[in-house]
Amino acid sequence: MRVAVIGGGVGGAELIRVAAPGPLEFTLIEPKRQIEMQALYPEYLGGVARLQDLAAPLKPFCERTGTKHIQEKALRLEGNTVVCEQSTVEFDYCVIATGAAQNYFGIKGVENTFSINTLEETKRARRFVEDMNPERIMIMGSGLTGVEAAAILAESMDASIYVVEAKDRILPPFSLQTSQLVEKELSKRGVNILTSTMVTEVKKDCIMFADGSCLDCDMAIWTAGVKPSQFVADLDLPKKNGWILVDDYLRAKDNVFVIGDGAWIEIDGKLATKTGLEAERQAKHTAQNLLHLAEDKPLEKYAIRASTDNQVALISLGCDCAVGVVGKVCIGVPTRLIYSVKSWIDKSFIKRFK
């Protein structure tokens, strides 16, 4: 049974690792040469994590699992064929795991910002930090990435760090208790929090806000939101808010599965979060369902673990400390033990592929 996997991130790579070698013939379509752990990008930016902690080469992994690697971008689906930049890949089943792209919401001057959504962008940001030693850093967006980047930079640099959030509190998808706890901890580390503050333009040396005010900055980092990848945006499949709509088995149609950030997954009244935890669980589940198909067994329904109304996360807050969040419950004191657990989880993911 030929399975084309589009995307070699957390979801795509984990699916192949779980199911191969075996009765499935995998082709991985991924332009990069390596698997990367996005959860560790903020720590790499702050000089805490090393490159070898957050990446593993794809070639030996594909050789071990008997997977063919097409090192090209996928462009579109035509029937049961993936059309790539130079190649075509025929499949019996396809798994789309392309992740998401940074969303700049049409803000003027985004070319003056740094991103930590990809490893190459994070490396560029790290080089700037090392070479220029910026004294004032603005982080736009206060989701998990923005909050962790602020905490780690505040620990590792003698700089003024600002977090800018358009909504009325940081970590808006999380409970009020979590937001208040994390804001308190960031403030202890000297991070300046600006909520209910809308960015209208990013200039080379300052940030402009909706009320006409501005703040000087030496470095602007954009972490405010994601959108579907270009591949997902171009697909003619049922969608909701731009994301591919899937059924209870993570299928967009009979022979096309979608996992990770590119999917809109709503099951039993719960909406899945776009997190590494969910992508990994969806990958394992889809691997088992593909094996069921190969053995003429019925598919199993997916059960969401981390939903928008029941968040599950470990949040690094610098100084080798982290907090744990399960639903509306947040452990009240950041601890080294929780950070050790988070660090072990993040780093052990990459070790699986080495």
Tens of pLDDT, residues 292-330? 999 999 999 999 999 999 999 999 998 899 999 998 888
Whether the pLDDT of residue 235 is over 80: the answer is yes
- With respect to residue 76, please indicate whether it lies within any of the assigned structural domains: yes
Q: Are residues 70 and 96 in the same domain?
A: yes
Q: How far apart, in whole angstroms, are the C-alpha atoms of residue 77 and residue 257? A: 13
Residue 206: pLDDT above 80?
yes
* Alpha carbon distances (Å) from 99 to 47, 220, 275: 25, 24, 10
Tell me the sheet residues that pair with 316.
322
- The residue length of the chain stands at 354
Q: Is the pLDDT of residue 33 over 80?
A: yes
Range of the domain at 234: 2-101+227-294
Residues 95 and 207 grouped into a single domain: no
- Let me know if residue 299 belongs to a domain: no
Angle between helices 10-19 and 58-65 (to 10 degrees): 30
Task: Give the whole-angstrom CA distance, residue 285 versus residue 279.
Answer: 10
49 CB burial (10 A radius; 0-12, 13-18, 19+) = buried
Domain CATH for 19: 3.50.50.60
Say yes or no: 200 and 136 in one domain: yes
With a cut of 80, say whether residue 278 has pLDDT above it: yes
Q: Are residues 131 and 97 in the same domain?
A: no
Q: Which of the listed residues 199, 224, 249 is the one where a domain comes to its end? A: 224
Task: List, for residues 54-83, the tens digit of each pLDDT value.
Answer: 999 999 999 999 999 999 999 999 999 999
Summarised one tens digit per residue, pLDDT across range 241-276 is 999 999 999 999 999 999 999 999 999 999 999 999
208 shares its domain with 268 = no
Write the pLDDT tens digit of every residue in 148-187: 999 999 999 999 999 999 999 999 999 999 999 999 999 9
274 in a domain, yes or no? yes
Residues 91 and 182 in one domain: no
Whether 166 and 264 map to the same domain: the answer is no
Domain total in the chain? 2
Residue 171: CB atoms within 10 A of its CB come to 25
